[in-house]
Amino acid sequence: MRLNDKINIVRDILKDRNVAIGFSGGSDSTLIVYLASQIAKNTLAITIDNHLMPTGFVEHTRKMAESFGIEHEVIDIDFYRDADFLENTSKRCHTCRSLMYSTIKKLAIDRGFDYICDGNNISDLVDDRPGILVTYENDFKTPLIKAKLTSREIHEYLDKNNVPYSKSTTCLATRIPTNTPITQEKIEKISYCEDYILSNTGCEIVKVRDHGIFSLCEVDNVDEIIGENKYKQINDEVKNKG
């Protein structure tokens, strides 16, 4: 099936509905918000601020929603107060998403939105993402899965149509290995180091993973950091942050 045919399936699903979507500003939820803003009866983007997202996350979602001319609500949930989440067991993603989705669902229903969805796509079904079970437990709809859209196709469509989206919207808790407790100090160190690398290189995606005695840095353009002087500068700064 051609990409435009898949997009039209999503359009048909959203058309004339009252659509509420959990909105992170990443590619998947941005595609739904972008399409819904054109053909849905009403669109409500709901963003959860859990205090663990990359710098500028909430502000980016606000600007995106404003550019699409849709309603946008930001809900503050301090995950540092959730003991189960901070234990960082293999159930962390399920715990996190359960809290977020139940909150999104309640707000959407209270506001009269009868079609509540998220941005999961067909690629998510083959990745190891235990949190996706929460989508179905909360009866969220998945229009991108219904249309069999892959992550690659979503990026292709957004790029072709010059629709901006954030390339990194994953929770910073994912940078800490499972069964290692999450602390605010660790998250703040990770956030600082990622921001430092982003601001001192041309990278758009940076993930600094905390493995205790060393860190593992993932970037989208390794050439930006392997130059001798640049690598030393980054390495020294990350070490200085512990």
pLDDT (tens digit, 9 = 90+) per residue, 152-177? 999 999 999 999 999 888 899 999 99
The most distant pair of C-alpha atoms in the chain lies apart, rounded to whole Å, by 57
Classified as helix, coil or strand, 144 is helix
* pLDDT band (50, 70, 90) for residue 76: very high
For position 127, what pLDDT does the model report? 60
Residue 51 pLDDT class (50, 70, 90 cuts)? very high
Task: Rounding to the nearest 10 degrees, give the CA dihedral for residues 93, 98, 99, 103.
Answer: 140
At position 204, the amino acid (one-letter code) is E
Which stretches within 111-183 are classed as H helix? 132-137, 143-146, 151-160
